[in-house]
Structure 1
């Protein structure tokens, strides 16, 4: 057993755009999982302001393999409701290339189970980005995305109002969306 993090004191304020960098195994994912309260710290405390709306993208999705893309991303919204939302249209077009999800045989009604890791990643991202959050915590959001998807995500996050904490090895992406860095090492 070795300590990954020790004596850490940090905070995220409204509007912060923080990139988390460091070598593999040095504790980046552990740090943001504790920040998001997905893991407990052995000692110390993690404090969230009251009413914090937190959105988290982990490296492994929790999508229901029996559900359809529609169920996971749009939920119970009627077609005229979600199609009338500029935000939802932008996310679907940006991540899937169009409202009809042209890469999926049954569009929004495609079952998630047999999809690839990259397709599942886009679905998890779409689900997260359609919701309203005060803080987005993203662990390797560019994994499995093509160049166009990465560029769209960077542009989307640049204009989004929520604070952001993002782990990625993609230096271009960090330069586009982050204004501060946390370097996690040794």
Structure 2
């Protein structure tokens, strides 16, 4: 069971890092799309060759139409900007969804940390057990202050000659 928990924790760490990288990638891509230009309009062709952009109605119920024409360069640029707007919104939606899920996950992980903290006496928690730090330079040794020999969760005997400074987990 101990190794199962550690495997899940390592998997969760990698999954969270992946999601954070995806958020960073999305924001970078959104900035690029913003610089390239976005048009929030619908393309409409008259007579099959003249492009018009039809923008959404405004507060005043005015629908703006913009004539682009048949120039291939202008048509391509306008259509690319419409695609940029669609892609931007997709990325923004995905990013908002991931950020919302991560906010919820952060709360739930905090609850898990508080539950686990209540399981063990605080005098077994050392300053080296802070989030993101290895408990000791050579692995996952758990030291009990003043003890000469300690058995860790993976049943390794660890020598504890110098006790480490203690800190409660609730300071995370």
Larger RCO, structure (CA 8 Å, separation 6 or more): 1
Q: TM-score, normalised by structure 2?
A: 0.22
Q: TM-score, normalised by structure 1?
A: 0.21
Which structure has the larger Rg? 2
